[in-house]
Structure 1
Amino acid sequence: MRAPIPTLSLLAPLLLVACGDPAPTYVDQAWVRVSPNKDSPSAGYFTAHAGETAVTLRGVLTDRALRVEMHESVNEGGVMKMKPIDSVDIPAKGKVVFAPGGKHIMLWGVNPDAVAQGKMPLTFLFSNGDRIIVDAVVQKPGAAAAAGGGPANEHEGH
């Protein structure tokens, strides 16, 4: 009867993992590139991760900007254009990256205090009811790209 005890002790951690909480929906790597022109929108980037089930990102809010919209850069006949998007599906255990040259958020009228503080809270609204608040790093105008490069001002001429 000694053999089952060592076997059970090896299996116990696996059984505990199986009983743990399901993987959560979360957002990380959030940052905002402030436009050097106060009349042009700034751009925000992040990575949204789904948990055990698929989820839809329905919007992003902040009280540190006058308006926030989700957009996507698309190539139409060799011309890059930006189009608003209402929502983004994230597959179960998957992720969607909002990065320069692709999906991103546009922020109009970024509060100068957020720029001075170097961060701003963003609230992400998901179809499962989650409202996730993440502090995005605010990159001042003219600073080198924080996470992934891209054009100096994604919304020039937008």
Structure 2
Amino acid sequence: MRSARRLLSDLIFNFRQKRPGVHPGFTRSTTVNTILFPAFAVAAIVAAFTTTPATAQQITAGDLVIDHPFVFETPVTAMAGGGYLEITNTGDTADRLIGVEADFPRVMIHTTEEKDGVARMMHVDAVEVPAGATTVLAPGGFHVMFMGLQGDPFETGEQIPATLIFENAGRVDVIFDVRSRTAPATDQSG
């Protein structure tokens, strides 16, 4: 992959080349050369250095900050997939995640419990989000369960739109990024 500097240099060089059949004193219009091209070049440089990956998603809704919503890729035979995220409550009042909506036959909030050495998922009505604390929905604990995949698996790079429903903060739209299970763990501290 070529560097941004090299791409910009090639763009400037190619832009200023003379075109056949055009008066020898002109390469493009004066407006383009003096106004539009420099503006485009600055915009391209800014975009190249300020873009962030989709997996760095952070949403703020009132006192709540929702970080890194994601799901793992699933095999074609999977009937469900789990969604994970972090919810930080920066306020003085507790809140609760009371529901999730998405374009699936059923979406529920679950927790994983172990009984007699066997882990099983249990539906919960809500997840507490205490004031001044972070609640983590992660494998082995609370999570969002997207049910009814029916042969349409989650594939790495795909994005799953959903709406989190909080008791106080209300409805918050998020995008769950689909990650590979074999990808290295990423820092989710923000």
Class of the TM-score when normalised by the shorter of the 2 chains: 0.5 to 0.7
Matched, 1:40 2:48: no
1:70 touches 1:106 (CA, 8 Å); kept in 2? yes
1:79 Cα offset (Å): 2.0
**What is the identity, as a one-letter code, of the residue corresponding to 1:104?**
H
Aligned length: 123
1:26 aligns with 2:75: no
Q: Aligned to 2:140, what secondary structure does the other structure show?
A: coil
> Which structure 2 residues correspond to residues 73-84 of structure 1 after superposition, within 5 A?
73-84=112-123
Q: CA deviation at 1:102?
A: 1.2
Return the TM-score normalized by structure 1.
Answer: 0.66
* Structure 1 position 39, deviation (Å): 4.7
Rounded Cα–Cα distance in structure 1 between residues aligned with 2:172 and 2:183: 25
Unaligned runs of 5+ in 1: 1-22, 149-158
TM-score (norm 2): 0.56
1:59 equivalenced with 2:99 (yes/no):
yes
Preserved contact between residue 74 and residue 83 of structure 1 (Cα < 8 Å): yes
Deviations 1:68-125 (A, max 9, x none): 1111111213221211111011110111111111111111234959748611112110
Following superposition, which runs of at least 4 residues in structure 1 exceed 6 angstroms of deviation? none
| Aligned counterparts of 2:128 and 2:138: Cα–Cα separation in 1 | 16
Instruction: Give the match for residue 144 of structure 1.
Output: 182
Q: Deviations over 1:109-151 (max 9, x none)?
A: 34959748611112110011421111110136xx425757xxx
Q: Percent sequence identity over matched residues? A: 31
Aligned residue number for residue 105 of structure 1: 144
Query: How far apart, in 2, do the equivalents of 1:42 and 1:113 lie?
Result: 9
Aligned-partner residue type, residue 102 of structure 2: T
2:131 corresponds to 1:131: no
Alignment RMSD, CA only?
2.6
Q: Which ranges of structure 2 fall in alignment gaps of 5 or more residues? A: 1-61
CA distance in 2 between counterparts of 1:135 and 1:91 reads 23
Instruction: Verify the 8 A CA contact 1:35 1:43 in the aligned structure 2.
Output: no
More helix, by proportion: 2
CA contact (8 A) 1:27 1:132 kept: no
